[in-house]
Amino acid sequence: MSAVRQVAKRLELSQFELSEIIGIQPPDLTGYGDNPEALRKWTTSWEQARLLVGMYCALIALVGDDALARTWLNGAVDGLGRKRPRDILLCEPNGLARVCAYLEAHRTQG
């Protein structure tokens, strides 16, 4: 869980945003603390948390640092229909998977 919290901190995602992205209630997120076993393996929330960490790593590999990652996350991206990736993460049912697929496609092109 600490890796997920670090990603949220580096990308400046609020606790509410993090809970929305990984699919758990904000009070439940608070209760997890730094217990790495708090999210039970193979649950949807655990998979989403893993995917979020992977998204962050792919994004850093493409842009280079946290400041540029935040800029990208908050800017309109042509390949994502001129939407902000942050909005896609929060508002689309499969938003995290969509953003990850976009980053993966760009990683393999470069």
Average the pLDDT over 77-97 and give the result.
Answer: 96
Contact 3, 53 (CB under 8 A): yes
Q: 6-20 pLDDT, tens per residue?
A: 999 999 999 999 999
Q: Which of 42-51, 73-82, 84-93, 95-104 has the lowest mean pLDDT?
A: 42-51
Q: 30-47 pLDDT, tens per residue?
A: 655 544 455 667 688 889
Question: Please, what is the angle between helix 44-63 and helix 2-10, to 10°?
Answer: 40
Contact 52, 88 (CB under 8 A): no
Q: In the numeric block, which tokens belong to residue 4? A: 């997920």
User: In the chain, where are the structural domains located?
Assistant: 2-109
> Which residues make Cβ contacts (< 8 Å) with residue 65, sequence separation at least 6?
none
Please give the model's pTM, rounded to 2 decimal places. 0.86
Q: In the numeric block, which tokens belong to residue 85? A: 């990736």
Number of H helices, E strands in the chain: 7, 0
